[in-house]
Amino acid sequence: MYSEKSSVISHCPIKYVFFSFMSKLPEQLQKKIAVRIDNNSLRVLTYSKNNIDVSSNDYLGFSKNANIGSLASEIGAKTTFLNGSTGSRLVSGTHNLHLETEKIIAKFHHAETGLLYNSGYDANIGLFSSLLQRGDSVIYDELIHASIRDGIKLSHAKALKFKHNCLEDLQKKIKKSEGTTYIAIESVYSMDGDSAPLEAISNIATKHNCLLIVDEAHSSGVFGTEGRGMIHELNLENKIFARVHTFGKALGCHGAIVLGSKELRHYLINFSRSFIYTTAAATHSIATIQAAYHELTETKSIEKLKNNIQYFKEGISTRNLMTKFIPSDSAIHCCVFSGNDRVKQLASILQNEGFDIKPILSPTVPEGQERLRICIHSFNTKKEMDLLLNHLANF
């Protein structure tokens, strides 16, 4: 039985005092935020509605593709419906749909086998952190994605960075490597939109007995027959140790797969922590991935995308904007405007003109290389692209 005193105490808003105390950010963290504010580089979340999309990675418009939604429902109807997967893949989370989809994707990309991950970040973290052993070396392009960098940091291997797409510097770094040596590159770089010299790098890797790992995130659905990727386009499947294909770009859904040998898949199942210690993707998510791959074999959007990329590149040339743009044959085109203040101002002007466009600020890119990152899609019209290029020319 509570006394009057204990009753008063029990009604005292202690929890609010506690949360007030806990909500105060440590001073050193506050200083880091203050630096971002002073540099005009503070990141915030925004929501764009009904604007002209020139910022998303949805290159083929698959995220809104009704055919994919319908087929995913049909695939899902053939399985036991689950809101969630109920556990990790090694406990209760592996459904026949996971295994079936892995086989379908591996066959599509002409790989021996594959292993699904919940995201591209998970895939790269899990691949590099588990694969690289003490005494090994990994040589990576200086513009490699943050997920690969983070995976490398979690390993005990010797890490060597080479100048972007520089074959000479790559070979210099190989001479400094030791143990089993891996080379990590992207086929298309996410912040510049340019492509790696894949054939040359694969030849160097073969010559020096290095194992080549390629992230195909931004070439999937864009390059190769039916969007199989740049490695397929160049007929290099048999020269790559591991490939990472993600589904959050041209496939319009979510997740990723690591493609490689049966031995690699077996190893990752046993030692890749981001695979082992996370709840598996739900079956409706896997069904969407499978449906998206089916749509790649049927869609006309890839050809439309390629035509739009070519049209946009010609528009850059005719308006004498070549010196402002980083050369690219991909769906990503970057217009460089030095300085966070300037590029944010230009992005704001374009947003007011109806474009969903985001400024890419330092430190995401090197200081002085701040830019507008423009993504071309199969659904962008010539009128929209002309309007955007005219604004850029006026700037």
- Same domain? For 86 and 116 the reply is yes
Residues 249, 227 contacting (CB under 8 angstroms): no
- Same domain? For 344 and 307 the reply is yes
Q: What is the pLDDT of residues 254-312, one digit of tens each?
A: 999 999 999 999 999 999 999 999 999 999 999 999 999 999 999 999 999 999 999 99
- Same domain? For 98 and 192 the reply is yes
Compute the CA torsion angle 362, 364, 369, 370 (nearest 10 deg): -60
| 20 belongs to a structural domain | no
| 364 belongs to a structural domain | yes
Q: What is the CATH classification number for the domain harbouring 359?
A: 3.90.1150.10
Residue 386: is its pLDDT beyond 60?
yes
The token pair at 124 is: 């790269």
Give the end of a domain, one of 243, 264, 296: 296
Give how many domains the chain has, as a whole number.
2
Residues 214, 91 contacting (CB under 8 angstroms): no
Q: What is the pLDDT of residues 106-126, one digit of tens each?
A: 999 999 999 999 999 999 999
- Same domain? For 223 and 366 the reply is no
- Same domain? For 224 and 336 the reply is no
Q: Which residues pair with 279 in a beta bridge?
A: 88
- Same domain? For 285 and 372 the reply is no
- Same domain? For 232 and 211 the reply is yes
> Under DSSP, is residue 234 helix (H, G, I), strand (E, B) or coil?
coil
- Same domain? For 247 and 363 the reply is no
CA 359 from centre of chain: 18
- Same domain? For 167 and 290 the reply is yes
- What is the per-residue pLDDT for 224? 97
* Structural domain range at position 345: 300-394
- Same domain? For 325 and 200 the reply is no
pTM (2 decimals)? Answer: 0.91
Residues 6+ away with beta carbon under 8 Å from 273: 126, 129, 130
| 46 belongs to a structural domain | no
